[in-house]
Chain A
Amino acid sequence: MAIQRHIGVHMSDEEMKNVVAADEAAFASPVPTQMVSNGEYNPLPQTEQQAKVEALIKEMADMHAKKHGMDRRRFLQTSAGMATAFVAMNKVFGPIFDVSEAEAADMEMSDYRAKQLSGQFIFDDQTHFIRDDFNKEGLLGLTKWAVGAKVNPRINEAPMTLARYKMDNYLKEIFLDSDTKVSLLSGAPFDDPSWWLLSNDAIQNACRAVNKMAGGTRMLGHTVITPKYPNWMDEVDRGIAELHPVSWKSYTIGDPFGPSKYAWRLDDEKLMYPFYEKAVKSGINTICIHKGLMPRDYEKAFAGTWLSATVDDLGKAAKDWPQMNFVIYHSAIRPWLADAPEREMAEFDKSAYIQWSTDLARIPEKFGVNNVYAELGTTFASSCVTNPRFCAALVGQLVNLMGPERVVWGSDSVWYGSPQWQIEALRRLEIPADIMKKQGWKTALGGPNSEVKQKIFGLNSAHLYGLDLKLTQGPAFTADKLAAIKAEYLALGGDRSNKTYGYIAKKDSQTA
């Protein structure tokens, strides 16, 4: 029997028995209290600490909600509800997030803070939606909409379809329910063509439609390139001549969801250097590369190809092509998430090494290059939920070894629902003083709108993609049509759904 699977999901049928759609089963917390998978790795069962966080959130939310005369669900959709979640995380994981109990209790205070930060320039460097004609039957069983009281009534109006992953909901989650100002839309190839995410034409069509509707630049798009595929350079030529992407997207591993016959290396002179030459000449000189996110037993699972998922090929390519920019998606982190996060944190405490992301962080110094960037999609989302201290160490290492100018924000939306909780997490995240001291780091992350965070959230990407920095700090994103739509949406009571659209482990699989 052919196994049909949702685009972006590569867990087996057997694995799928152990997970449920996150929006259906997870407690609708402003910040997930359990790791959510984008399908590129298995979600961990809820840990004991995460269960404590969830219980605390419920307890505090019930208390605050009662004072404000609302139910828990409604309270958790407010800024105070978001603050409550971070207070709970601090109580369990230690003081990693900058938040006070007063903020959780005082809606006026939390609303004021949220309003003050709502204009912050946030450029999401990695986003996805799926093509409209993707209609595999098996997907319906995997991604059915939640029913009942836990689900946003607005979402419930839609039938149980793939719509949540499609463009309409993407626009809502990213541009209406979060402070994101500009997104970069991506795609992905698979060895099985029926899984291809979006065509390069569809990406550009979406950008044109959104930007026309907004009356400004709100969405930028990739052109996916597929080295080793037949005639792949023809698509490069077409991209340059017709599509005009802002950057290229590719997968050195070939297929993100399985061992591929199209794995390749960035430093393959015969294969890639003619491409770099064309890219530089065209002015489209930034390439975003999926790296990392490998299973625990990657040497067996990806025997013969796994090296392509590391940054082993990056230093030489970056040095040979200083005119190119190499944006490394997921910061090349190997999915330690499949292992116990505590083990990874212990390894960092011992050796200051995080598998593969540290290799990335060391490249600028090792090769004397400044054209390599670390992108945080999925890596940040999952680590800040499972082990905030590890998340702080990870981001801290990237910032301190590569420089705050070389780290770019990405959320991997729309797989995790609205990225607002991720944005809030980075705004509040700080590197613990003991880690700073032990590692000898000088650069702290700072307050929610610190120079470092402004760079990560948007200024670095604005620089990469030639956006006018005066515009990004001015009224451009508060005065266009999309901003007007958002204002109207909020005035009509638009509320964040607190939904995550990946998969979480079933409770009865936690001991598996």
Chain B
Amino acid sequence: MRGFLRSSVAALSLALAASCALAQQKDERAGTCADAKSQMEYFCDPARGAGDTMVAVGTACENAKKNVAAACEGKVEADKAYKFDK
């Protein structure tokens, strides 16, 4: 029983540590996870495009998807400097 408890506590600690590490990696520059999901819901909904306002499913939907990945999952694309190839 004691062994089980010890291993359970250890597992919980590891999970918490992993969760903290993941949280640190999250990128919320384009908004929180909830914001990014709102962006994606708006811009990636093709039904909205017919007569609505600026539904930029192209770049905007792609942006929103990346924002969700960054803010919710910690999957962050590397930034690129504004520099053109000659």
A interface residues, Cβ below 8 angstroms from B: 3-5, 9-15, 18, 40-42, 45, 189-193, 195-196, 199, 201-202, 224, 226, 228-232, 234-235, 254-255, 257-263, 293-298, 300-305, 335, 338, 509, 512
CB pair A230–B81 under 8 Å, yes or no, is: yes
CB pair B35–A338 under 8 Å, yes or no, is: no
Closest to B30 in A: A261
CB pair B31–A303 under 8 Å, yes or no, is: yes
Q: Among A3, A226, A512, which residue has its beta carbon within 8 angstroms of that of B58?
A: A3
Minimal beta-carbon separation of B75 from chain A (angstroms): 13
A-B contact list, 14 entries, CB within 8 Å: A12-B55, A13-B58, A15-B49, A40-B54, A189-B82, A235-B82, A258-B43, A259-B36, A261-B67, A295-B52, A297-B52, A302-B39, A304-B32, A338-B53
CB pair B56–A12 under 8 Å, yes or no, is: yes
Minimal beta-carbon separation of A354 from chain B (angstroms): 17
Q: How would residues 31 to 52 of chain B score, 1 for a CB under 8 Å from any chain A CB and 0 otherwise?
A: 1101110110111001101111
Residues of A with C-beta under 8 A to B36: 259, 303-304
SS of A interface (majority): loop
Residues of A with C-beta under 8 A to B39: 258-259, 300-304
Residues of B with C-beta under 8 A to A298: 53
CA distance A509 to B49 in the complex (A): 11
The number of A-B residue pairs with CB atoms under 8 Å apart is 178
CB pair A259–B31 under 8 Å, yes or no, is: yes
Residues of A with C-beta under 8 A to B63: 191-192, 255, 258-261
B interface residues, Cβ below 8 angstroms from A: 27-32, 34-36, 38-39, 41-43, 46-47, 49-64, 66-67, 70, 79-84
Which 10 pairs between the two chains have the least Cβ-Cβ distance?
Answer: A304-B31, A12-B57, A258-B60, A295-B53, A304-B35, A10-B56, A295-B54, A512-B51, A338-B53, A199-B84
CA distance A509 to B53 in the complex (A): 14
CA distance A15 to B52 in the complex (A): 9
CA distance A201 to B31 in the complex (A): 32
CA distance A9 to B84 in the complex (A): 20
Residues of B with C-beta under 8 A to A255: 59, 63
Residues of B with C-beta under 8 A to A260: 30, 63
CA distance A303 to B66 in the complex (A): 14
CA distance A199 to B81 in the complex (A): 12
CA distance A192 to B80 in the complex (A): 9
CA distance A42 to B55 in the complex (A): 8
CA distance A87 to B29 in the complex (A): 50
Residues of A with C-beta under 8 A to B52: 42, 295-297, 338
Q: Among B27, B31, B49, B61, which residue has its beta carbon within 8 angstroms of that of A18?
A: B49
Residues of B with C-beta under 8 A to A297: 42, 52-53
Closest to B47 in A: A14
Q: Given A224-B82, A258-B43, A258-B64, do A303 and B35 touch, yes or no (CB 8 Å)? A: yes
CB pair A12–B49 under 8 Å, yes or no, is: yes
